[in-house]
Every structure is written in structure tokens, then in C-alpha cells.
Amino acid sequence: MIYRRKLYQNLLEWKKSNNRKPLVIRGARQVGKSTLVHEFGKEFRYFIDLNLEKSQDKKLFVRLDNAADIINAIFLSKGIPLTDEPTLIFIDEIQESPEAIKMLRYFYEEFPDLFFIAAGSLLEFTLKKVPAFPVGRVKQIVLHPFDFEEFLSALNRKDLLEELENVPVRDYAHDTILDLFHDYAIIGGMPEVIKRYMEEKTMINLGEIYDGLWQSYRDDVEKYASNSTERKIIRHIIDTAPFEKDRITLAGFGNSNYRSREVGEALRSIDMARIIQIIYPSTSLEPPATRNLTRKPRLQLVDTGLLNYSIGHQAEMIGLEDLNGFYRGKIIQHLVTQQLQAQNHSPLYKPVFWVREKANSNSEVDLLFQYKKFLVPIEIKSGSHGTLRSLHQFIEQTNHKYGVRLLANKFSVESVKTPNGTPFLLMNLPYYAASQIPQYVEWFITHY
């Protein structure tokens, strides 16, 4: 079964564009890039599939250095006529060939009537070998693991998707959607995991898939380590990062003796591979939410299901009615961040949280979301609005009156005050609507 991804619509729009550039789809390995493009290939009269991990495909870019010669060789090798019919050429695993990356600019300039899509999972490492990356002549987008809406689509629950797309969601749909969101929170959004879950209707036999994913990530990134010490550090970070409770310190990471510089360099390599991303906080109260690289960051794993499996808590999560209190709130915070990130396909985008660190007065808001001239604070926690100390401190200093809290409850909007008497509006959003934070924030501000 083929599961339709949200990015498919972006591909359709790209196909219709008058100023169409070669498209590079980025993302961690095993998030579904190749599957997505193969499905999209059905929109064309001809579809040519190249995989640069295969020597016969890769050598086309090694032995030929002229765009016209390469195109002619590709069509001849695949037995497809070079005509005016719409033809998509898919260059998979393009990170295996710096020559192919460089050639994208010439394909764009010399063959504007052909459609080119490339995909790769470790492009940043290869780009170091490409002195003239065709910036401005390619379009880059990122594919993430399944978000909750894509999970519902895979379950063929179009009825619940329609309910979820109501802003705000109707009360009568709340319990059913919440139950399925808790299932999704346990297994995560990796395509192979969801496929097995759909086939067997159980979570029991998913462990081997998680193990295989982690091992493939280790093997991938270690290939790009500059020496044996960096390989050991990368392996150590991947093994211990899931157990970090919140913000991290580089020196001695994961109860090691590694120095700050060593850990930082290894983490940046893992971040480039999009396996574990470094999320820095902001101290801004108004746009832009500038990241403060002097403050301790958080780590964001590629998928919450992998995080759950790594820390061994999936069984404990079954039957939970509220994820906010589980594992000190880390799991639901991680999942909401993953959902928000999945709505943005720019390679440059990363979520951001807010901190204020002063003597005897530290504050931290889980996420910031920019809407026009506002930075909207988002907290992910249960309890009365009186416990939102950090959000209150943000509201008292910023230029607007809007705050958001994600929790297991039904949707509501409250008119409340901070302990110092500053009035503001608090939108209580069920955490299963995290993938629709952009729509809800727009609705909130335009209606209030």
C-alpha cells in the first residue's frame, strides 16, 4: 500500500511551475523520499529511475562531463525515447556523486523541458566536495517522518482527518482522535514502522525495525567521521542521546570523558545527517527569534518512536490518558516539536524555544511560533493556567496578549491574568492538533 504524503502536493505544484528548477529532496535516511518520488512518477508519461549507489548508474556521471551526453546516455541506457512527452528523471542517493550534484545546474539550463528530482540523506557531507553547488539553480525541500495527519491517512481515517482539519476541532471528535494520537505517540512516524503496524495491527514486532534504523544511522554517519576517535564519539552520542533529560552540556556528554569541542564536532555531523538535531534557544521577545548559540541546546531525534524504543518505555505508554506527566513531559514535548517541524519543508528551518537566564530566576518556554509581528509562546503541560510561570514571564515582556498551551484536554480559550496582573488570552489546544499549530495560531489571533 502507498501512503500519500503531504509533500506530494508540493510536488504537484512544482510540476506546474513555469520556472521549474531541479528539485532536491533532503531528509534522514528511511523517511520515505524514494517511495514518494516513485509514486509521483506515475504523474508522467515516462519515469527514469537512477540510483547512484548502483555502479552502472553512477558511472554515467563519472565518465561523461557534458550535460547533453549524460542525458542521451541516460535515455539510451533505460530504453526510453527522448521526446516531448513529460519525463521525470529521478536521481536517487545523489550524495554518492559530487559530479551529479554539480551537473544539476547544467540540466536546469540546457534541458528546461525535462523534470529532474534528486534525493539524498547525507548531502551536507558530499557538498564539501562540490566547490560550485548550483545555488539558485535548484530548489531544496525536506521530507520528515509521518506527522499525525499522515498517520491518520495511512489508517484510512478520512473521517477523523476531516474533523482534525476543523479549526477548532469539534468536542465530539476529541476522545477518538486522542486515542489514536496516543498510539501514534508510541510508535512514531517512520514509514517502515507504520507499514508493519498497519499489516499486523500490533506493536509487538516493531523492535527489529527500530534496531535496524538505528544501526543504519550509525553506519551512515560513521562513514563520514574524520578519524577513529570521532567515530567512537558519534557512536556514543547516538547511543546515549535518547537518555538526556532536557538541555545538554557538551563537555562530558552522556557520562563520558569527551571534551566539549570533540562532542560539538560530532554532534554537528549527526545534525547534518538529520538524525539528531541541535535545537538552540532564543532570548527574543519579538521577531526574529534569533538563536542564542551561547545557551545550552536541546536535542531532537529524527522520530519520537525511535526515542521511545531507545529508552524502553513504549510498553509503559500503552493506556496512558495524559502524556504530559510521562517521563517528565519529555516525550510529548519531543513529539509536539516533531509535529511542528514537519509542517516546514525548508532545509534551513529549525524549531526554537525561549529562555531567560538570570541570577535566581530562570525561565523556559517550550516553543516559539512566529506569526507576522508576534512571537507566540507555546507551553506543553497540564495543570491550571496559574502554573505557567515561564509563559507568564514571557507575556509580561512581549508585544502581544496571546499564549498557547498544549495538553490532553478539549479545545478552549480563556481570558486570564499573570500573577502580576497582566491580562492575556490562553488558547488550550489538544496536543493531537500540534501539526496544525500554524492554522490555530492564525485563527486565534484573527478571532481575538
Quick one: pLDDT band at residue 386, thresholds 50, 70, 90? Answer: low
Q: What is the pLDDT of residues 371-385, one digit of tens each?
A: 999 999 999 987 665
On the question of pLDDT at 134 being above 80, the answer is no
Residue that wins the pLDDT comparison between 301 and 123: 301
What is the residue type of 27? G
Report whether 440 contacts 339 (CB < 8 A). no
Same domain membership, residue 238 and residue 333: yes
C-beta separation of 414 from 385 below 8 A: yes
Single-letter code of the amino acid located at 144:
H
Q: What is the pLDDT of residue 123?
A: 80
Mark whether 233 and 373 lie in a shared domain. Answer: yes
Residue 120 lies in a domain: yes
pLDDT band at 132 (very low <50, low <70, confident <90, very high): low
182 is a domain residue:
no
Asked if the structure places residue 62 within a domain, the reply is: yes
Q: What confidence score (pLDDT) does residue 384 get?
A: 60
Q: Is the pLDDT of residue 175 over 60?
A: yes
Residues 212 and 338 in one domain: yes
Mean pLDDT on 18-38: 94
What is the percentage of the chain residues whose pLDDT exceeds 90? 82
Domain boundary among 124, 142, 160: 142
Choose the final residue of a domain: 142, 160, 178.
142
Residue 48's DSSP bridge partners are: 89
Calculate what percentage of the chain has a pLDDT beyond 70: 97
Residues 138 and 211 in one domain: no
> Residue 125 has what pLDDT?
75
Instruction: Enter the pTM of the model.
Output: 0.94
Position 151 in a domain: no
- Are residues 289 and 378 part of one domain? yes
Can you state the angle between helices 67-78 and 55-63, rounded to 10 degrees? Answer: 150
Say what the pLDDT of residue 121 is. 82
pLDDT reading at 75 higher than 80 = yes
At 104 the pLDDT is 93
124 pLDDT more than 80? no
- Cα–Cα distance between 320 and 317 in angstroms, integer? 6
Between residues 268 and 132, which one has the greater pLDDT? 268
Task: Report the domain count for the chain.
Answer: 2
Q: What is the structure's pLDDT at 17?
A: 93
Residues 365 and 241 occupy one common structural domain: yes
Query: Each residue of 76-120: pLDDT tens digit?
Result: 999 999 999 999 999 999 999 989 998 999 999 999 999 999 998
- Provide the pLDDT for residue 176: 97
Q: Which residues are paired to 412 by β-bridges?
A: 428
| Amino acid at site 42 | K
18: in domain? yes
Question: Are residues 137 and 213 located together in one domain of the fold?
Answer: no
Q: Which one of 120, 142, 164 terminates a domain?
A: 142
CA distance 329 to 333: 6
Domain that holds residue 99: 7-142
CA 410 to chain centre: 26
- Nearest Cα to 115, choosing from 14, 32, 36? 14
Give me the pLDDT at residue 131, please.
64
Give the CATH number of the domain where residue 98 resides.
3.40.50.300
